[in-house]
Amino acid sequence: MSSAPFLQHHPLSVKTALVVDTDPRVEAVLRLTLSPESWNILHAPDNMTALVMAGREPCDFILTSEKTSAKEDLELLRKIRRVRPHTRLIILTDENTPADIIASIRERAFSYFSKPFSFESLADMIRLAAEGPCWDDGIEVLAATPAWVRLAARCELGTAERLVQFIDEIADLPDTERNNVGMAFREILLNAMEHGGHFDPHEYVEIAYLRARHMVICRIKDPGSGFSLDEICHTTLSDPASGPFDHVLSREAQGMRPGGYGLLLARHFVDELIYGEKGSDVLLIKYLNIPR
């Protein structure tokens, strides 16, 4: 095999992405997402070669092959961690099991995509991996079985997007229900990180995902002191009929990100949204129409 990939020299400002035996469509997404002025893209035919290349030359980002199993990619990740502990690795695979996804979180994979996946979502995750600040994970498994997962997530926007993708993969649901649960989960998670954790990277949100036969339950607990739904003035819930966009002005005045529709969206996409007494603990419940 040619040693040319090991002999390429680039300015220190250029980062390196390593791609393993990728599909042409994924390659196209990668090249459209990563600036050629800032990224050098290397290719490996298999995981063994990728490990050798990563050992010889620092890699900032690795994308695995869709043709390998999640277990094979997790083994690659474990070995790469020994020589390049901060390399960001996104697993692409043609299979999806809750056990493998939980293992990928434990092993600090940056993200996980199983077929069929959205190329737009993949591009967003590649961009996040490429442009994000210095990274040392941000998602911790507190306890996990395939049916009951407990996590802690740092209060950062990028961590939230990564966590949403992991939960989307764990959710063993029909497409419509999975999309609805995912959208509701994302809105409440961002609310928890913003209002309870103030997007402070030293604060963590606790998450539980429970999959019963006829329902899915997501619990999100933020680190804040809580609030009353009657007191908030930065969501659509607080808008009077005469001023349906009053919450926009309130958010701008408080220096908050655009939004305020999270509660309405979440209530639309799940069957029950239940707040605890202090408002910092939320349950999302989605009932499933699955034959006995």
Under the banding of pLDDT at 50, 70 and 90, the label for residue 85 is: confident
Percent of the chain beyond pLDDT 70? 82
Question: What is the overall mean pLDDT for the chain?
Answer: 85
Q: Does domain 138-292 have CATH number 3.30.565.10?
A: yes
Query: What is the pLDDT at residue 255?
Result: 53
Closest residue by Cα to residue 37 from 11, 7, 72, 4: 11
Query: What is the pLDDT at residue 137?
Result: 78
Whether the model pTM is above 0.85: no
Query: What is the pLDDT at residue 3?
Result: 41
The Cα–Cα gap between 277 and 7 comes to 62
Into which CATH architecture does domain 1-136 fall? Answer: 3-Layer(aba) Sandwich (3.40)
pLDDT digits (tens, 9 = 90+) for 89-114: 999 998 888 999 999 999 999 999 99
Q: Is the pLDDT score of 185 beyond 70?
A: yes
Query: What is the pLDDT at residue 228?
Result: 56
Specify whether the CB–CB gap between 127 and 116 falls below 8 A. Answer: no
User: In the β-sheet with 139-145, what is the strand arrangement from edge to edge?
Assistant: 139-145, 148-154, 204-211, 215-221, 281-287, 272-275
Under the banding of pLDDT at 50, 70 and 90, the label for residue 209 is: very high
pLDDT digits (tens, 9 = 90+) for 5-63: 444 444 457 899 999 988 899 999 999 999 989 999 999 999 999 999 999 988 899 99
**Residue 231: other Cβ atoms inside 10 A:** 8
Q: Which residue has the higher pLDDT, 267 or 256?
A: 267
Q: What is the mean pLDDT of residues 286-290?
A: 87
**Residue 60: other Cβ atoms inside 10 A:** 18
Parse the chain into domains and list their residue ranges.
1-136, 138-292
Query: What is the pLDDT at residue 93?
Result: 92
Percent of the chain beyond pLDDT 90? 62
Under the banding of pLDDT at 50, 70 and 90, the label for residue 239 is: very low
Specify whether the CB–CB gap between 168 and 228 falls below 8 A. Answer: no
pLDDT digits (tens, 9 = 90+) for 118-177: 999 999 999 999 987 766 779 999 999 989 999 999 999 999 999 999 999 998 888 889
Q: Which residue has the higher pLDDT, 100 or 239?
A: 100
DSSP collapsed to 3 states, 78-107: HHHHHHCCCCEEEEEECCCCHHHHHHHHHC
The Cα–Cα gap between 122 and 4 comes to 28
